[in-house]
Structure 1
Amino acid sequence: MSPPSLPPVPYHASALRPSWPSLPAALREAVADRLGAPVVTARVAGAGFTRGFAAVLGTADGGRAFVKAAPSAEQPHLVDWYAREAAILDRLPVDLPAPRPRWTLSEAGWFVLCTDAVDGHTPRLPWAPAELEATLAGYATVAAALADPPAELTTLGLPHLADLARSDILWWEEVAAGREPAPVLPTPARGRLPELVALESRLPRYATAATGLIHGDLRVDNVLIDAQGQAWFCDWTWICSGPAWFDLAGLLLTAYAGGLDADRLFAAHPVTAGAPPDALDATLAALAGYYLTGAAAAPPTASPHLPAHQRWSGEQALDWLARRQGWA
């Protein structure tokens, strides 16, 4: 096992969000009206990489709810994401460990999504064994439930991972063709651009055959561990058709970084049954290129911690891949 490598900023403190008092008064009044009582507490979410408002709100009558909000003029992409997530949450199987939606509203130029509040915390790194076990078991449940997608979800016209890979995830070919600046590579991966291009190119082909749905953005900051030790999965904006082992590989980057035997964890998980032998390698190559090139082009509306986290994630993916490939 390798010595642990921690992210540059803890995942539970990666966000930069507005406070509840800083929101427009008309918006706060509209939210309180929908909640049915004045808001007396607001615990802003520390995890995530957007600048949207996100907090657990407590009301004077003892109620609790989780609220996301974004301004239409300044962050139209977040408004689109929150509206999309609202439609997805409303159609997820009700027994999945995911927050249940309550309502949406538009007020004072802002869009708001309200869900049930999950009383939990972002897993700390390095992973505590019980929290990792709960997360892996929870994702097995999610993957099994979405292996045969509910009709109400598929009618949303969800994208396919194979298409997303070609349009947004695969970047080594762009680097090789000179259409994208080359990121600085760690020593084991230098001179390996042809291999990286070849490996990432397999991902769309492997993903095409998948018929189930996956979370599509499974990272530590999208997981909550509740008081009973159960894992909950949040931020469902990027759900798509694809193989569940893609989600698993992305999640296990932090297990690898923590010095755990991520190869064993990947191979032992039920979602990898029937996966191509090099599915993990293709995914790691793709994720490494996606994160390392993205670190140089993070949008100004994102958290200022995003570029450093992308670089760290890309380096972990590349280091794991280099070890698996035996690159000196």
Structure 2
Amino acid sequence: MSVPVPYHATAQRPEWSSLPARLRAEVSTRMGAPVIQARTAGAGFTRGFAALLRTADGQSAFVKAAPHAEQPHLVDWYAREAAILTRLPAGLPAPRPRWTLWEAGWYVLCLDPVDGHTPRLPWDQAELTATLTAFADVAEALAEPPVELTALGLPRLADLARDDLLWWGEVAAGREQVPPLPAPARGRLADLVTLESRLPRYAAAATGLTHGDLRVDNVLVDTAGSVWFCDWPWLCHGPAWFDLVTLLITGYATGLDVDSLFAAQPAAASAPDDALDVTLAALAGYHLTAATSAPPTASTNLPAHQRWTGEQAIRWLSHRRGWL
């Protein structure tokens, strides 16, 4: 099954030339030479500026920026990401921050550049192997959270789940409309409520940290074939197997044996027996419900991708549970 819009082309972002002149001048000053080229990032679902910039003297950097007046949530996310990336353990495949600045009402985050592409779908075997290997390294490094990171007061996935992920209970109570469901899941609302309700308890038992938003559009494969994980503002206390599920949904949709891939990862070794089903139920409810009310500050491609992601999650769950 193909995605609604390829992940490398989901974003709708402002061009470099449309940014305030004062902002462009200050970014050029911080980079040490005039910016002569800007390659806008095609992946992602926000409307924030994000581009690989090159300067007249051959330097490059990846720059994100958002206006506080129109997109205060993005400013908060970028500032949180800067704080997190500064404190991640050395050696992890995550772009490191160079500097931040405020100018003309905009917040700017400058990162080390990664010249790469989102993974090809259907998954290329070499890219899949590299992604899962890099994921295992990150999961191991964050299994015992560094003090520098925990000092930031990171949220807990258990709380985030209760506040924002568990929607089947809302549907069952009549506070949310029933979203369109693939045929195998119709009539399974009670099962979905029961499954998703276990996620906070499972997440609370974890002692490590999890990326929290490890979709395929937050993965980059560089020109050497190495994998980098991007967009870290949602790092939280929680189990690494949660990230593994969000990452593998595209694998299910394109015909991979994702059950085996999940079980083979070290991060899944400590997962409860039904953790995969529990996470799929929660993700399906979240995405299918959210697809009906995307914020105006998001890409117009977001609802279709949320609907598709929710459908794949519930189809994968239905296959696993025998809801045929």
2:108 is aligned with 1:129: no
- Aligned partners of 2:100, 2:177: CA distance in 1, in Å? 41
2:74 equivalent among 49, 67, 78: 78
2:216 is aligned with 1:195: no
**Root mean square deviation, CA, Å:** 0.5
- Aligned partners of 1:243, 1:323: CA distance in 2, in Å? 24
Query: Is 1:94–1:100's contact at 8 Å kept on the other side of the alignment?
Result: no
Matched ranges for 1:156-235 at <5 A: 156-235=152-231
- Aligned partners of 1:180, 1:147: CA distance in 2, in Å? 36
Residue number in structure 1 paired with 2:260 = 264
1:308 equivalent among 297, 304, 311: 304
Superposed CA offset, 1:20-41 (max 9, x none): 0000000000100000100010
Structure 2: any 5+ residue segments left out of the alignment? Answer: none
Superposed CA offset, 1:211-262 (max 9, x none): 1011000011000001121110000010001010000001000000010100
Matched ranges for 1:231-310 at <5 A: 231-310=227-306
Residue number in structure 1 paired with 2:14 = 18
Residue number in structure 2 paired with 1:93 = 89
2:55 is aligned with 1:59: yes
1:148 equivalent among 121, 127, 144: 144
SS state of the match for residue 95, structure 1? coil
- Aligned partners of 1:274, 1:135: CA distance in 2, in Å? 20
- Offset at 1:94? 2.0
AA matched with 2:259: D
AA matched with 1:166: R
The list of structure 1 runs, each at least 4 consecutive aligned residues, that deviate by more than 2 angstroms after superposition, is none
**TM-score normalized by the length of structure 1:** 0.98
Superposed CA offset, 1:99-141 (max 9, x none): 0100000000100000000111111111101101100000000
Q: Which moved more, 1:312-321 or 1:227-236?
A: 227-236
**TM-score normalized by the length of structure 2:** 0.99
- Aligned partners of 2:63, 2:139: CA distance in 1, in Å? 26
- Percent identity between matched residues is 73
- Aligned partners of 1:221, 1:246: CA distance in 2, in Å? 16
Query: Is 1:17–1:53's contact at 8 Å kept on the other side of the alignment?
Result: yes
Aligned residues: 324
